[in-house]
Structure 1
């Protein structure tokens, strides 16, 4: 089974320069890896068998391959009056008791399980959608952070080269890149908003796709937490039934249709109920995180004091007056890029960078305007 998901290990390898923050990585990269792993597992017949398995009477002369294909394409069904406290009749149907399954279920009381064949495709589509913000940011970021920080990882053992690259960074941040940095920040925030939008839309679509998925699984997880496995089974079977019925119509010799009734098992739903129990918690978790991160972003935009305190916390023991002077001409976009650089170099090196910026600003402050032209 490990060989099925082994290619994902390269996708999750840590890079020397991180262009995403931790929450962005959880939402766009870890979620994609989880969804792809679930897709591989559900599509691997060698581990969980065929997705649908039907049984027939001995006197029925129909190929089992035809029965399986017919029920897979047109959908099996179950009784549609399942509640949170199922009756004995419904429990017997869910448990595949022959004395109940053999009875006719009126068409108006049937709930067809047509989503079953779409689960793998939906998970695959979700993985592409969740990866979209990361792909867009990687495309629009253009390798700026790698250009600014990658050399520090390569020349960490060489102090002379490290000081040389530090001076390059100082020259970069004392130059006028305010518009470039502002666009850089706006694009990143757009990707964060895209993360929130994708999470919320995903929650709504899953609820429609499975029919009350979020409300039902909340009760199911509470039952699981209480150790009530019977209640867990009765609730999850409403979303992912393991047993269903299927009617197959075959043209007879006289031209009229003959109807045959079959009992079908849905083995993958044993895995689906557990996969989506985990995904239920994971989607709620990442949606909450990206929402909190967006609130944090709003606070940093509207409260300059917050930005200064965050920078001061990262520079550790640097005097407050020195830091204020180093950030004297620092716009919001400059601050954002500085913080991103700080996430990719050591705290000691970042403090040296701010001290060099302080020295550069002090020199500019002491030299009268136009003195360099004399």
Structure 2
């Protein structure tokens, strides 16, 4: 198991300088790790065995397995909705194909690992854009003031550099903040788009998948039709066309077991709940961001909470002088440098804005 997940351990490392927030990290760190881990699991045969095993008379098993994996398998949906395991047939959706039966082909299992990895890349794109646009600005401004031990003289010198920088670049950080806000919007658009993308990938079954699973648990056992078996059947059918000695085509029905779907059904139940939670949290974060952008009073309260050690009147003076971009940079600085140094920085900025030299 360590070999499977060892390749994603690099994503768990913490950045030395924080340039975003916890909700942003849920997208590019937590979700990316989950998706890559799931992609590795579905390709690890030592945990699930062969992804497909088919049984048919007159055709070698390995040939049938390869044929059905390439050409897909199928179930009969109208027999799945009316039959329950253990009552009429042993496997819902599987019976001899009769004329007029609606057939549902299952091809997704060939692509699950690739789709999961592709989704992980999509979740990382806003982070990549923000790192490119940010270009190490916050790391440059921190100036090692996030180190636990720093000489007093060095600290004062670097703090003065920060004060000088803000005094000379006041109101020049709006574009910096707007780019971050754009990435937050992209995160929300991405997770909503991912829900509908997976729904398309699974044939329109994903948007209600988790809800159907919950509804099934509330039903009486004899009335249950497992939605996971409908989307991810463990037993399906496959038709093999074999040429006989005279050149005629013989149609042979085979029964295929898909052990991989035991894993797939759990993966997509988890992803349904995770994407819904992530979409809700990201939507609330956008509402919060809108309130912050439109409300100067809200920005003042947040800066006071970040600079809780500084005098209230000096924090409010700095907040009144700052536009949204300046406020955003100051808030990020507060996440990265020592609280005592941050308090001194706010006090020195307040004195500079009042026309006094910082002490």
Give the TM-score taking structure 2 as reference length: 0.92
Shift of 1:227: 9.4
| Matched residues, number | 357
Q: Take 1:157 and 1:91, find their aligned partners in 2: how far apart are those partners?
A: 74
Q: Which SS does the other structure have where 1:214 is aligned?
A: coil
- Aligned pairs for 1:65-144 (under 5 A) are 65-81=62-78, 86-88=82-84, 92-93=88-89, 95-96=90-91, 101=94, 103-106=96-99, 108-144=101-137
**C-alpha distance after superposition, 1:233-274 (max 9, x if no partner):** 722101111110100112223222111111000101101111
- How much does 1:353 deviate? 1.1
Distance 1:348 1:230 in 2: 65
**Aligned to 2:276, which of 269, 275, 284?**
284
Q: Contact 2:84–2:224 (CA<8 Å) still a contact in 1?
A: no
* Secondary structure at the counterpart of residue 162 of structure 1: helix
Hey, which of these two has a bigger chunk of helix by percent? Answer: 1
Superposition pairs for residues 206-225 of structure 1, below 5 Å?
A: 206-210=198-202, 211-224=204-217
Contact 1:79–1:90 (Cα < 8 Å) also in 2 = no
Q: Contact conserved, 1:82 with 1:238, CA < 8 A, in 2?
A: no
Cross-structure match for 1:372: none
Partner of residue 246, structure 2: 254
C-alpha change, 1:284 and 1:236, in structure 2 (3 Å) is same
The 3 A distance-change label for structure 1 pair 9 and 340 is: same
2: CA distance between counterparts of 1:102 and 1:312?
69
**Cα distance change, pair 213–102 in 1 and its aligned pair in 2 (3 A):** closer
User: Aligned Cα RMSD in Å?
Assistant: 2.5
Is 2:308 aligned against 1:316?
yes
CA contact (8 A) 2:56 2:254 kept: yes
**1:16–1:150 CA contact under 8 A, matched in 2:** no
What is aligned with 1:174? 167
d(CA) in 2 for partners of 1:51, 1:115 = 12
Give 5+ residue unaligned stretches, structure 2: none
Answer whether contact 2:198 2:206 (CA < 8 A) is retained. yes
**Deviation (angstroms), 1:69:** 1.2
1:43-62 pair list within 5 angstroms: 43-57=43-57, 60=58, 62=59
CA contact (8 A) 1:77 1:110 kept: yes
Distance 1:158 1:170 in 2: 18
Q: Are 2:288 and 1:296 aligned?
A: yes
- For the 8 Å contact 2:79–2:94, the answer to whether it is kept is no
Whether the 8 Å contact between 1:53 and 1:68 is mirrored in structure 2 is yes
Aligned partner of residue 230 in structure 2, secondary structure = helix
CA contact (8 A) 1:36 1:123 kept: yes
Shift in Å, 1:278 = 1.0
Contact persistence 1:55–1:262 (CA under 8 A): yes
Shift of 1:4: 0.9
Q: Secondary structure at the match of 1:244?
A: strand
The answer to whether the 8 Å contact 2:84/2:225 transfers is: no
Could you tell which deviates more after superposition, 261-270 or 8-17? 8-17
Do the aligned partners of residues 336 and 129 (structure 1) sit closer, same or farther apart at CA in structure 2, a change above 3 Å counting?
same
SS of match in other structure, 1:316? coil
The equivalent residue for 2:32 is 32
* More deviation, 209-218/238-247: 209-218
Is contact 1:76–1:113 with CA below 8 Å preserved after alignment?
Answer: yes
Aligned mate of 2:328, from 333, 336, 361:
336
In the aligned structure 1, how far is the partner of 2:161 from the partner of 2:262? 58
What is the CA-CA distance between 1:348 and the residue it aligns to?
2.4
Q: CA deviation at 1:230?
A: 7.5
